[in-house]
Copies of this chain bind each other. A is one copy, B any other.
Amino acid sequence: MTDVLPSWNEGQAKKAIIDFVASATQPGPGFVEPTDRIATFDYDGTLWCEKPSYVQADFFLRRMREMIEAKPELAKEQPFKAISENDEDFLGHLLEHAAELAKGVTEAYADITTDAFEQAVETFFASATHPTLGVPYTSVGYQPMRELVELLRAHGFTVYVCSGGGRDFVRVVSEQMFGILREHVIGSGTTLEYREGDVYRTKGVEEPFDEHGGKPVHIWTRTGRKPLFAAGNTNGDQAMLEVARFSLLVNHDDGEREFAYTELAENALAEAAKRGWVVVSMKDDWKSVFAEPGL
């Protein structure tokens, strides 16, 4: 028989996934109708590398540096101040400065159409490379997760992204990286407004963020269902994993091939142990990490 997850080592995680897919799709007590087979995947740290910093942070910081160049007085206020002073304490802990950062992020691409924003994202991906791996960001997706997405899809699941990061950012690359169409990308967003025949980004932030309790809320508004299968890697994914029937947590324990960290995942790891979620060890469960040869 063909190995459906060739980049996964034999072990509990691989077995649990294959057993679950079989139980949900074959006649029996676990069977689920195809229309209810919804799988939701966090993006940063679950489908692609999120270290040393979020890909989206690189994108926005570049733009904010341009904004400061064009208008130096911006540097008097956060987050522009930290960016212009290269304040490592601020830039290394972006999530702790989320409120200040949001101001810069929403202003960075305000008052342009959603199409113009996508163009900016495409331009970024065409040239930006990962700072330590030295390859385009579109090459830092996890090969074992790509196989998992394909396995689910081959068994009638509809696979969604459910990202704490920007929905309209991820949409630009999700299809080429994972075959996930733009209508299946759930995520955070700025407020939008219709003007003169087109949709424009405005300076607010859609509530709730697609993080923590916002994830099951977004999944409901977008699909009208709870996820049958969910995968994440941090505390922000915990609520989504709580409402799924099968919950998977990626543990970043491979400092050799990727990055080893449990920061922002402490609660989720504790909860996984308590609730019996499948914890995937990147070190032990994955034969290879990236699709890119040699990475």
Residues of A within 8 A of B (CB): 35, 114, 158, 167-168, 171, 181-183, 185, 189, 191-195, 197-199, 206-207, 212-217, 220-226, 239, 242-243
Contact = CB atoms under 8 A, between A and B. Distances in A.
> For the complex formed by this chain, how many copies does it contain in all?
2
Nearest to A194: B213
A52 to B, nearest CB: 29
A111 to B, nearest CB: 15
A199 B225 contact: no
22 contacts: A35-B181, A114-B220, A158-B183, A167-B221, A182-B223, A182-B225, A183-B222, A183-B223, A183-B225, A185-B224, A191-B207, A192-B220, A192-B221, A193-B213, A194-B212, A194-B213, A194-B215, A197-B243, A199-B217, A199-B226, A206-B221, A222-B222
A243 B200 CA distance: 13
B194 A217 contact: yes
A182 B224 contact: yes
A35 B174 CA distance: 14
Contacts of A239: 194
A191 B192 CA distance: 17
A195 B182 CA distance: 28
Given A198-B243, A243-B197, A183 B216 contact: no
A185 B224 CA distance: 9
Contacts of A185: 224
Contact of A224 (B171, B198, B215, B223): B171
A183 B220 contact: no
B193 A217 contact: yes
Nearest to A240: B194
Nearest to A38: B183
A227 to B, nearest CB: 12
B183 A199 contact: no
A189 B220 CA distance: 11
Contacts of A182: 223-225
A183 B213 contact: no
Contacts of A114: 220
Given A194-B212, A194-B213, A199-B220, 8 more contacts: A35-B181, A158-B183, A168-B224, A185-B224, A191-B207, A197-B242, A197-B243, A222-B222
